[in-house]
Amino acid sequence: MNTDNTIRHTVRHFRQILLWPLQLIPLPEEESRSHWQFFDDIRKGSPWQRMSDEIGNESGVFQDIYYKEFSVFLPYVRRFLYGENRGPWIHGQEDLPGNAAVKIFRRRDVTTLRVVPRVGHPPVLLAVDSIDLFFFDDIDLVFLKVEVSGNDLPLATIQELLYRFGRAYPTGWNEDGLGIHNVPVAEWLGATGDSLMTSDFEDRLKFLTFTKQHRVPATAAHWSFLLLPLVFAVSGEVGMLRFHQIENHHMPKMAFVAIDNPRDLTRDQWLRLGMADSLHPDEPIPRNDPDVIHFERNYCFDRYWSNTEEGPNCRFLCHGRAMLLVGDAQAGYFVNGQRGMLAQFRHQYFIVFLIAHLHRASLLIFSDQLVDAIHDLDVRQGHSFRNFRHRIHACFEAFLRFTHRYWFHEISERTDIQSLFRLCGKNLGNDSLYEETKEELRDMSQYLDSDMQRRQSKTVIQLTVVTAFSLIGTLTTGFLGMNIFDETNAPLWSRWGFFFITFLFSAAILLFTLIQSQGLWDLMETISDTRKPLLSRLRIALQFEEKP
C-alpha cells in the first residue's frame, strides 16, 4: 500500500454514488409500451417501486431541496428532467403537457453494504441511501444508481473503496484465486441485518465458462441481484427486459469526502484521490504521465478552493468517469445535508454528472447499433438490405430525437454548474464522440441515398426499354387494324384460347425485355451514337447476341 501518510487522515463523512449505464435490448416493433412501461408491468413481486415527482412532495424540507435543484437549470433542461410547463393558457385539450423524459424506480429493501475493501482488512459497514433505476424516453438506456455513505473512515480505506468498489466483474485472479482490482467481498444486507446477496468474484469457473460460451464477461452476483427483473442479454435467466454492458466494467462514480483540514493533503494524495478510478493504491505515481503533469489544469475545479485559514476550502476533482468533492469537515456549510454543499452534491451536481454520462452512453449506443447493422448486412440478399435500411432510418430518427431533446452544451447560468458540466464532458470526450457518431450516420444516409438513386435509375432504364420495344407491337397491331383474326363467331373456348396464348406471348416478350433491359439499353445507345458511321453501328448491333 502506498505510504502517502493516508493513515493519519480520517474522513469524517464519505458518500459514494455509482452510476452504471446499461444498454437495453430494443422491444419488438409490435410492442406499444416503452421500456419503462414494460418494466413497470413486470416489476410486480419485485422490490422496485415507481418514484413520483419529487417537486410535488408534501414534505417542506424535501420540497425546498428539490426547488433549488429545479431552479438551477435552464428551461430546456427542466423540460426533460421535470416535464413541460403546466397552465390552462399554455396547453389545450388536444395538446397536453408532456411529462418528464426520465422515469425513476427505487428499491428500499437493501439498507446496508458490508464490504471488505482489501484482503486482510476488516469489513466496513456503509449505509445504502438509495438504489435507483433511471429510464429515458426514446433511448434504449437505463442507469443503475447506488448511493452509499459512511462516517469516520481512514483515508486509505476510502482510496481502496474508490478504486475497487463498483466493478461489474473481476479482470483476473491472483495465485490465491481471489479477483484482482475488485473488493474481496461485497454483501447487501436487509433492514434486519440478514444477508440478501453476496459477491462471487472468487468463482473463477463461473466467469471463465460464461465468457467462453457467450464471448462476454458475466456480471457478479450481487449486481445481478440488484437489477432483477432486468437480466443480462445472453444469460439463460428468466426475464423479459434484457441489457448489454456498454463499456468498461468499472462504473462511473461520484464521491463526497469531508476531511479535517484538507489543506494538509499532499499533491500525491490529491493525485490518488483524483485518479482513484485508474491508479492502483499500490502503484507508484507515474510522474511523467501527462495526466499527472497537468493534473491541476485538466482535472481540478478550484472555484471554492482558497487554501487559506478562512476558507472556503473545497475542491472538485473531475476525471470524466469520476467526480469527487473534497472539503473541510469542520465547515458547517460544506457538510450541511439540507442547504449546503452536501445537499448540492446529491442533487445539482449529481444531475450534472448524470447528463454528461447520459450523453456519452447514448452516443455509444448509437455507434453500437450502426456497427451491428453493418455486421448483419448482406447486399446479396434483398431482405437483409431492406432490414438494414429500416434499422438505419430508425437509428437516424432516434438520433434526431436525442439531439433535440437531450443534447446541449449549456445547462445552467450558474458558473460552477456550467463549468463542471463542461469539464466532465470534455474529459469524457463527448463532443468528439458526438461528431463521430453524426458523421457515421451521415455516411450511412448518403450510402442509402446513393443506392436509392441507383435503383431508381435502373428502374427508369427498364421502363424506357420496355416502352420503346412495346412501340413495335403497338404500331404493328395498330397498322393492321387489330383484325388479323376474326373470332367473333368462334366458340368461347377458342376465344379464351387465343386470349391466353396472346397473354402468355406478351408476358414472355415483356419478361425477356426486362431481363435484357441493360443490354438492350446499351444497344439503343450504340445505335443512337451519331459519332460513329451507320455501318459501324449496325455491325455492333448485329454482334449484340455474341457479347458475353
- pLDDT for the residue 453: 74
Q: Which of 216, 235, 251 is the last residue of a domain?
A: 251
For 1-58, list the strands marked E by DSSP.
Answer: 10-24, 49-50
Q: Are residues 435 and 542 in the same domain?
A: no
CA distance 11 to 4: 15
- pLDDT for the residue 546: 47
- pLDDT for the residue 365: 94
User: Residue 233 in contact with residue 244, Cβ under 8 Å?
Assistant: yes
Determine which of 79-83, 162-166, 180-184 has the lowest per-residue pLDDT on average: 79-83
More confident residue, 27 or 360: 360
Q: Are residues 244 and 261 in the same domain?
A: no
Mean of pLDDT values over 277-285: 88
Type of residue found at 181: H
Q: Are residues 17 and 155 in the same domain?
A: yes
User: Residue 35 in contact with residue 135, Cβ under 8 Å?
Assistant: yes
- pLDDT for the residue 548: 43
* Each residue's pLDDT tens digit, 66-77: 888 889 999 999
**Preceding peptide of 229 cis, ω within 30°:** yes
Asked, for residue 190, whether it belongs to a domain, the answer is yes
Q: Are residues 247 and 138 in the same domain?
A: yes
CA distance 183 to 198: 12
- pLDDT for the residue 141: 94
DSSP string, 411-479: --SSHHHHHHHHHHHHHHTHHHHHHHHHHHHHHHHHHHHHHHHHHHHHHHHHHHHHHHHHHHHHHHHHH
- Select, from the ranges 127-136, 237-246, 477-486, the one with the highest average predicted confidence (pLDDT): 127-136
Element (H, E) at 4: none
Q: Are residues 313 and 431 in the same domain?
A: no
Asked, for residue 146, whether it belongs to a domain, the answer is yes
As for how many domains the chain has, the answer is 4
Determine which of 83-92, 97-106, 292-301, 385-394 has the lowest per-residue pLDDT on average: 83-92
- pLDDT for the residue 374: 86
Burial-class residue 100 by CB neighbours within 10 Å (0-12, 13-18, 19+): middle
Mean of pLDDT values over 33-55: 83
Q: Would you state the cell numbers that stand for residue 88, as one nine-digit string?
A: 390552462
How distant is the alpha carbon of residue 9 from its chain centre? Answer: 39
More confident residue, 497 or 181: 181
Type of residue found at 520: L
Q: Are residues 262 and 242 in the same domain?
A: no
- Give rounded-to-5 percent helix, strand, coil for the chain: 45, 20, 35
Asked, for residue 520, whether it belongs to a domain, the answer is yes
pLDDT at position 114 over 90? yes
- pLDDT for the residue 462: 61
Determine which of 289-303, 326-340, 470-484, 514-528 has the lowest per-residue pLDDT on average: 470-484
Q: Are residues 353 and 435 in the same domain?
A: yes
Asked, for residue 326, whether it belongs to a domain, the answer is yes
**Global pTM value:** 0.83
Q: Are residues 313 and 240 in the same domain?
A: no
pLDDT at position 521 over 70? no
More confident residue, 474 or 392: 392
Q: Are residues 369 and 388 in the same domain?
A: yes
CB neighbour list of residue 290: distance below 8 Å, 6 or more residues apart: none
b vs e for 499-512, b when ≥16 Cβ sit within 10 Å of the residue's Cβ?
eeeeeeeeeeeeee
CA distance 391 to 388: 5
* Each residue's pLDDT tens digit, 127-156: 999 999 999 998 999 999 999 999 999 999
- pLDDT for the residue 122: 93
Q: Are residues 263 and 408 in the same domain?
A: no
* Each residue's pLDDT tens digit, 179-188: 889 999 999 9
More confident residue, 280 or 464: 280
Asked, for residue 55, whether it belongs to a domain, the answer is no
Q: Confidence class of residue 488 from pLDDT cuts 50, 70 and 90?
A: low
Q: Which residue pairs, CB below 8 angstroms and at least 24 apart, start in 478-486?
A: none
Determine which of 202-216, 259-273, 373-387 has the lowest per-residue pLDDT on average: 373-387
Q: Which of 336, 362, 390 is the last residue of a domain?
A: 336
pLDDT at position 1 over 70? no
* Mean pLDDT value across the chain: 84
Q: Are residues 155 and 22 in the same domain?
A: yes
Mean of pLDDT values over 157-180: 91
Asked, for residue 332, whether it belongs to a domain, the answer is yes
Give me the domain span that covers residue 321. Answer: 257-336
pLDDT at position 279 over 60? yes
* Each residue's pLDDT tens digit, 414-462: 999 999 999 999 999 999 999 999 998 888 888 777 777 776 666 666 6
Per cent of the chain over pLDDT 70 is 79
- pLDDT for the residue 547: 47
Q: Which of 460, 488, 513 is the last residue of a domain?
A: 460
CA distance 462 to 517: 5
pLDDT at position 467 over 50? yes
Q: Are residues 113 and 243 in the same domain?
A: yes
